[in-house]
Chain A
Amino acid sequence: MINIFTKFSSQLLVGLGWTVLSSVIALFFSLIIGTVFAILEVLPNKVARVIGRAYVEILRNIPLLVITMFFYLVIPKYVIKIDGFTAGTIGLTLYTSAFIAETIRSGIQSVSGGQMEGARSTGMTYWQAMRYIILPQAFKIVIPPLGNQFVNLVKNSSVLAFVAGFDLMYQANSIASTTFDTINSYLVVGILYLIITMPLSYYMQHLEKKLA
């Protein structure tokens, strides 16, 4: 196992880099997109609610691999040329954003309705109440499930391997097939994934304690 790591360290570090980069980009954008659609889902306006619902239901009910393959094979053919890394990261972002939207929506709805009424009666507009009263409380509630989504996101980034995104899993496949040492190749990347996800999940636990 150590041999694999020392012999292929540069290849593995490149993979680690692409995995982290893809995860960070996807985490940032899926959080933004997810929040937007979560708000759409709870707006009083019916059209907005339908749009929010449709987005979430479609994206979270299609396998990640299918979404990614769509961006890798179909979009370059008819719309714009994007490479494997971009296609994989877009797929990952959209897929995760649907789950994050659901998580945040449940958080918003668990904040009691009286909070909104109270805020409105002090003269705040709907958006002010959302921004300063509802969302801060909602985020606090959803930190544990949100942490789950972030960890899942990092692991799901292995979908990049199927579209030549040069991530950890891609390097693992490549190393396993040149050395034929399948077990140790995947063990090494398993541990490298742990190195990314363990601190992330400890940080989320820490955040949960700090804000609780």
Chain B
Amino acid sequence: MKKKFWLFPLLVCILMLTGCGKSLSDQSVLKNVKQSNTITWGVKGDVKLFGLIDVRDGQQKGFDVDMAKAITKHILGPKGRAEFVTTTSQSRVPLLKNGNVDAVIATMTITPERKKVISFSNSYFDAGQSLLVPKSSKIKSIKDLAGKTVIGVVGSNSVDNVRKVAPKAKIIELQDYAQAMNALKSGQGDALTTDNGILFGLAVQNPSYEVRGGTFTVEPYGVAVNKGQTGFTKAVDKAVLEMQHSGEYNRLIKKWFGDVPGFNYKELYRR
């Protein structure tokens, strides 16, 4: 019986060792994708308008997905293939760091904290954080949140933003946007907060809810790659610029945001 006590420290040691070791993500991503002629993208699977899995064919569809396809063609040529892996706000950074995906294009805001662990391309979309509430709600803007429960998603920076802007609000973090929306519908919170693009998508799916209060942050979305992969970020920047010049970018904006009520998609146009 007594003998077994050495098991516990041993276990702890083994677990700690797994924390070390060099990851396989140190090789050049740009070189690898050119060799395999395939870029594996991490995209969202639960965000309408950006990356949503279509239950009929199991494909991810949205602005981010179309951008990824276009960027792939620009980097690898017309025969380049884009593969998609569904990620969540929580899993996208670990998947990137482990090398499961080459790049992430998943409604991801460029922030200084994230820049410490991963690299970003220039912004390819400018979002801003806002609030989604039931149409009957009394909440008009971020100022009305004191004492209210705000729902956010684990791993998104919107939760930290609310903590700063409305310190008196109670915050609960759920696993993904579908769950957060369900919690809002069940009355587990008074408002759902994240970037306006995502919220407009949710409002399209749930007509008794609306986006309110304008935007209270600026959230530039970037393509994320592993730390130090500057070759790849430069290629992405070049591809996005080419798309802006050719009007391809604006066509995609119109395709995805043209029909969203209450959203002036022309503000997003770039040249």
Contacts and interface: CB of A to CB of B under 8 A. Distances in A.
A199 B187 CA distance: 39
A1 to B, nearest CB: 6
B173 A170 contact: yes
Interface string B178-210: 010011011110000000000000000000000
Interface in B77-105: 89-90, 93-94, 97
Contacts of B97: 180, 182
A106 to B, nearest CB: 27
Contacts of A1: 16, 19
Contacts of A46: none
B19 A72 contact: no
A177 B185 contact: no
A125 B136 CA distance: 61
A100 B90 CA distance: 35
Interface in B94-120: 94, 97, 113-114, 117-118
B117 A180 contact: yes
Given A1-B16, A187-B16, A84 B188 contact: yes
A81 B173 contact: no
A176 interface: yes
B10 interface: no
Interface in B135-185: 154-155, 160, 172-175, 179, 182-183, 185
Given A162-B175, A190-B15, A177 B186 contact: no
B195 to A, nearest CB: 16
A8 to B, nearest CB: 14
A180 B185 CA distance: 30
B182 A73 contact: yes
A118 interface: no
A76 B8 contact: no
B55 interface: no
Main secondary structure of the interface of A (DSSP, over half): helix
A184 B15 CA distance: 9
A76 B173 contact: no
Given A72-B188, A74-B186, A198-B8, A173 B117 contact: no
Contacts of A66: none
Nearest to A82: B188
B173 A174 contact: yes
Contacts of A77: 185-187
Contact of B90 (A73, A74, A177, A183): A177
Most chain-A Cβ atoms within 10 A of its Cβ — which of B89, B154, B185? B154
B174 A164 contact: yes
B22 to A, nearest CB: 13
Interface string A49-81: 000000000000000000000001110110001
B18 interface: yes
Interface string A36-49: 00000000000000
Instruction: Give me the 5 closest cross-chain CB pairs, A-B, nearest first.
Output: A177-B155, A164-B172, A180-B117, A73-B186, A76-B186
18 contacts: A73-B186, A74-B186, A76-B188, A81-B187, A162-B179, A164-B173, A164-B183, A164-B188, A173-B90, A176-B90, A177-B154, A182-B97, A183-B19, A184-B19, A187-B16, A191-B15, A194-B8, A198-B8
Interface of A: 1, 72-74, 76-77, 81, 83-84, 162-164, 170, 173-174, 176-178, 180, 182-184, 187, 190-191, 194, 198
Given A164-B174, A173-B155, 16 more contacts: A1-B16, A72-B188, A73-B182, A73-B186, A74-B186, A76-B187, A77-B185, A162-B174, A173-B154, A174-B173, A176-B94, A177-B89, A180-B93, A183-B18, A194-B8, A198-B8
